[in-house]
Amino acid sequence: MYSNSKEYRESIRSFFNMKIDEIESEIKQYNYDEETNDELLFDDVAINIGMTNILEKTNGNLLFDELYSLAAAKMFSMDRETGLCILLSYDFFSYFYNLWEFYNDNPSEFSETTECFSILKDRLSQR
């Protein structure tokens, strides 16, 4: 899925269907280096809508609650939104993406024995 920061940011943009054309034209005028330009291509409206959608779709799902709690604990928190932010971070996004795709395609088959759930839970449980 990604092997560096640039590819990660591209994956996040795609996952949240970010509209970056307007942002891209705005930042061109500043002549930032390529890395800075890429970092600034961020649609916070798309992120907020997407995260709200994920949280609403998983509301009351004990397995997602467990993952949110494990992830939030990395930041000494129990907040679901914080947990989701951690799951969307570089270290965990590829695992979360696989889980999210499985959950959307097979919601009735999603369980604690689902491989992508187990993998992500194990990854979150590591120090």
Q: What's the whole-number mean pLDDT along residues 76-84? A: 97
Question: Each residue of 28-37: pLDDT tens digit?
Answer: 888 899 999 9
Residue 72 CA to residue 19 CA, distance in Å, equals 28
Q: What is the residue extent of each domain of the chain?
A: 1-57, 60-127
Residue 62 exposure: Cα atoms within 13 Å on the Cβ side: 2
In this predicted structure, the answer to whether residue 1 has a pLDDT above a threshold of 90 is: no
Cα 107–112–115 angle (5° rounding)?
A: 80
> For the whole model, what pTM was predicted?
0.93
HEC string for the chain = CCCCHHHHHHHHHHHCCCCCHHHHHHHHCCCCCHHHHHHHCCCHHHHHHHHHHHHHHCCCCHHHHHHHHHHHHCCCCCCHHHHHHHHCCCCCHHHHHHHHHHHHHCHHHCCCCCHHHHHHHHHHHCC
In this predicted structure, the answer to whether residue 121 has a pLDDT above a threshold of 80 is: yes
